[in-house]
Chains A and B, each alone.
Chain A
Amino acid sequence: MRINMKRGILAALAIGVSAIAAQAENVKIAFIDPLSGPFAGTGTNGLHQYEFAAEELVNKQGGVLDGQMFEIVAFDNKISPKESLIQLQVAIDQGIRFIAQGNSSGVANALTEAIDKHNRRNPDDRVLFLNYSAVDPALTNDKCNFWHFRFDANADIKMDVITDKIAGTEDIKKVYIIGQDYSFGKAVASAAVRFLTEKRPDIEIVGNELHPIGKVKDFTPYSRKIMASEADAIITGNWGADMLGLGKSVLENGYTGPIYTYYAAADGITAAFGEAGKGSLRLVAEGALNPPASDRAAAYVEAFKAKYPDGNLSQARITNVIEMLAKAIDQAGSATDVVAIANALEGMEHDNLWGGKVFMRPQDHQLIQDVHINVHTDDGVSFDYDNSGYGVVVENTVPMAAMDSPTTCKMRRP
């Protein structure tokens, strides 16, 4: 309660500060993600990371161009594609040129289509789509367009890394794949099947199923099936409450093997798993938190934790979104000519705050970066999640993962 009050005062101060800064005409970034409903936790934490990154990495360094500041404007899309399109229109009407969205590929698919259409019809107020989390491969393949940039490694790249790890573990003979019933869950499942049959044809896929997203009350029946299948490893793309529900349920019902996941950390999930998830949960992600890549990264995390004691730096890539956008605006010499900014982003190489380099692949606007497999544990954790003492520690790393993976993207350039 007290923390929330403090937060409220901070927010009020922040509004006051930004109101003064607004006179110098801010570069506004619309953040369209769920801020209410079952996935509100994930959305709100993402918003904080954006606000912090904009403040710390751009505004405190003097802003872009001749001192223009970044400003994050939040829009609640309730994780619904329909609502997102309405919010997108509101954002465009407010003159915002940059749209950041990440939660749910279903939403991202709707947005990228709408933005493509909008930009073709309205060459005077085009917008860019900065996708920081939606990892459906189609977004940088069949459905790619010039205005869409993805800063997270897509589901295929991540699955490539996961299956490498599984293929290297001899005693895994049976794998169970389970996910949420929508584009991303399906993409994860098909990639897992494809890579596994390629890399380890002897592995038996004992289950491959989808469950309704955000609607399952109790995962017990699913975990019973997983137990009955005698799986040695589970692969899931679940996130939010669905991840916690599934993970807790299988562990409770006696599963001890590894659970390879995309999003089983932070937003209360790490704390809720606690001891139960230790040694089982494996996360594939970019951005290494433990051990921290550099003193600068460590200082950044500490500063974030000082500002948001209850928050988590769970989406490291957000710093890349902000830094690369700032760099591109400076290179383009304009914060409104999005074609020039997009051209500057294309092929950009950038020093990742979290170690290594990143490269925005021009063919499909997929950011190529180091991808890690992390393990959920309380050993050797410098920066925990949810103040729980538990966090994720890097187990192995694939540098510049999928640098020359194929893409079916045929981009129409303006």
Chain B
Amino acid sequence: MDLIAVNIIDGLVTGLLLFMLSAGLTLIFSMMGVLNFAHASFYMLGAYFAYQISIYLGFWMGLLIAPILVGVLGAGVERYGLRRVHQYGHVPELIFTFGLALLIEEVVQFVWGKNQMPYETPEILQFTAFAIAGNSIPAYKVFMIFISVTIFIGLLYVLTRTRIGMIIQAALSYPKTVEALGHNVPFIFMGVFGVGTALAGVAGVIAGPVLSTFPGMAFVLGSIVFVTIVIGGLGSLWGALVASLLIGWLTTFAKSYNLRMEDLLTTLGFNKPEPIWDSAWQDLWTLTSPQVADILPYILMVLILVFRPYGLFGKRDA
């Protein structure tokens, strides 16, 4: 029972981290209709920038400066890269971001090398916040939850309660009309791209010390972010949140409990073939939930695409 509470917290941390990535991506996607393959790379850049800054100025300055750097870089990419490619259609855009992802990984390896970086959590947060039945929850995790929730509330406020948010929302659906009303739509696009990548940067800064900072970190997280926004519904902030948490909890619980396919099949009335190692179904029968935990979100995505192609909270067809 105690383990459930612990897993809920762990899943929350994973989910909120995913959310910070997918929030930016989902806005960018709905706006430009382009899948930004380089999004996770900005997450990686956030971690590396923060690591570099933390050597000289400490973790907190890293948390402050690195996302801004990443955001400016993202805005620059939109202004001088994507916007030029945009006129040639979606496929070149897609290829552009894909190339950018590869480029960023190479640049990171060139500058920082291929090893793990000793990027550490700040000392002030290196204690156990509380423990549930012997399972300690590090203070840093509480801090991660706090940062992500703050960002979510902030984003929600800006998007729904302020004038800027309303213009952005309008620009998402009717860019021509908004432009005719005298707003600088390309500038809005650039801004959203910048903020979106900065969010990914924040995620990198706070995830770097716990999930380790290495050149493969973008690759590990890259595909799951796309799954999140598809499940949540493109362009929906709530969808991104719900899908992220869903994936966080789904994978955490699947890994924490050894649910065995054997038990499930036996309950369904199948007989275990004996001896099992000669059976063609051996792989199916010996499957356990931790083994498949990381592909469960993909299965969920396929189901969503079949039964609700516009996602959980999406308003239009994908």
Known: A38-B220, A41-B115, A227-B135. A272 touches B212 (CB 8 A): yes
A341 to B109, CA, bound (A): 38
Kindly state the separation between the CA atoms of A38 and B211 in the bound complex, as whole angstroms. 13
Interchain CB contact under 8 A, A244 and B212: yes
B220 touches A220 (CB 8 A): no
Q: How far, in whole Å, are A310 and B118 apart by their CA atoms in the complex?
A: 13
Q: Name which of B182-190, B269-277, B286-294, B308-316 contacts chain A.
A: B286-294
Assess whether A41 is in contact with B116, with CB atoms less than 8 Å apart. Answer: yes
Q: CB distance B216 to A272 under 8 Å?
A: no
The chain A residue sitting closest to B105, CB to CB, is A36
**C-alpha gap A252/B128 in the complex (Å):** 9
Which one, B7, B131, B221, contacts A217 given CB within 8 A?
Answer: B221
Assuming the contacts A209-B290, A210-B291, A386-B115, asked whether A224 and B214 have C-beta atoms less than 8 A apart, the reply is no
CB-CB nearest in chain A for B216 = A38
Q: Is B114 an interface residue (CB 8 A)?
A: yes
B116 lies within 8 A of A272 (CB): yes
User: How far apart are B206's CB and chain A's nearest CB, in angstroms?
Assistant: 13
Task: Tell me the bound Cα distance from A218 to B128 in angstroms.
Answer: 18
What residues of chain A lie closer than 8 Å to B215, measured between beta carbons?
37-38, 40-41
Q: A181-B291, A269-B116 are in contact. Are A209 and B211 (CB under 8 A)?
A: no
| Cβ distance A310 to chain B, nearest Cβ, rounded Å | 6
Knowing A218-B14, A224-B135, A268-B116 touch, does A41 contact B214 (C-beta < 8 A)?
yes
Q: Mark A211-247, 1 if CB is under 8 A from B, else 0.
A: 1101111101110110110000000000001001100
Indicate the member of B128, B212, B291 with the most A CB atoms within 10 Å. B212
In A238-289, the 8 Å CB interface with B consists of 241, 244-245, 248, 252-254, 267-269, 271-272, 274
What is the CB-to-nearest-CB distance from A90 to chain B, in angstroms, rounded to a whole number?
21
B-side interface mostly: helix
B56 to chain A, nearest CB (A): 14
Interface membership of B150, Cβ < 8 A: no
Task: Indicate the size class of the contact surface on chain B.
Answer: 35 or more
Contacts of B97 on A, CB cut-off 8 Å?
Answer: none
Q: Assess the B220–A217 pair: CB atoms within 8 A.
A: yes
Q: Tell me if A4 counts as interface (CB < 8 A to partner B).
A: yes
Contact partner of B211 (CB less than 8 A), chosen from A4, A245, A254, is A245
Which listed residue, A214, A222, A269, touches B255 by the CB 8 Å rule? Answer: A222
Asked if B10 contacts A220 (CB within 8 A), the reply is yes
Residue A1 CB within 8 A of the other chain: yes
* Interface residue count on the A side (C-beta < 8 Å): 44
Closest A residue by C-beta to B113: A310
Q: Kindly list chain B residues whose C-beta atoms are within 8 Å of the C-beta of A212.
A: 291, 294
Does B6 have its Cβ within 8 Å of any Cβ on chain A?
yes
Contact between B136 and A253, CB atoms less than 8 A apart: yes
Nearest neighbor of A266 in chain B, beta-carbon distance:
B115
Q: Is B214 a contact of A38 with CB atoms below 8 Å?
A: yes
Q: Taking the complex as formed, is A59 at the interface, i.e. its CB lies under 8 A from any CB of chain B?
A: no
CB distance from B243 to the nearest CB of A (A): 16
Q: Does B134 contact A (CB under 8 A)?
A: yes
In the complex, which residue of chain B has the Cβ closest to the Cβ of A310? B113
Q: Specify which of A36, A209, A272 is in contact with B288 (CB 8 Å cutoff).
A: A209
Chain B CB within 8 A of A44 CB: yes
Within B131-176, the residues touching A (CB, 8 Å) are: 131, 134-136, 138
Contact A253/B211 with A4-B110, A210-B291, A225-B256 known, Cβ cut-off 8 Å: no
Tell me if B256 and A221 are in contact (CB < 8 A).
yes
B115 touches A248 (CB 8 A): no
Taking a contact as CB atoms under 8 Å apart, the answer to whether A241 and B118 are in contact is: no
Q: Does B111 contact A (CB under 8 A)?
A: yes
Q: Tell me which residues across on chain A come within 8 A of B290, comparing CB atoms.
A: 209-211, 221-222
Residue of B131, B224, B255, B294 most packed against chain A (CB within 10 A):
B255
Cβ-based interface call for B230 (8 A): no
- The 0/1 profile, CB within 8 Å of A marked 1, for residues 199-243 of chain B is 000000000001110111001110010000000000000000000
Which are the 5 A-B pairs with shortest beta-carbon distances?
A38-B216, A268-B116, A268-B115, A221-B255, A40-B114
Interface of A toward B, CB cutoff 8 Å:
1, 4, 36-41, 43-45, 181, 209-212, 214-218, 220-222, 224-225, 227-228, 241, 244-245, 248, 252-254, 267-269, 271-272, 274, 310, 386, 388
Ordered by A's residue number, 10 sampled pairs between the chains whose C-beta atoms are within 8 Å are A36-B105, A38-B216, A209-B290, A210-B291, A221-B255, A252-B136, A253-B136, A253-B138, A254-B128, A272-B116
Q: A220-B252, A228-B3 are in contact. List 8 more A-B contacts (CB 8 A).
A: A37-B215, A41-B115, A210-B291, A212-B291, A212-B294, A218-B13, A228-B134, A245-B212
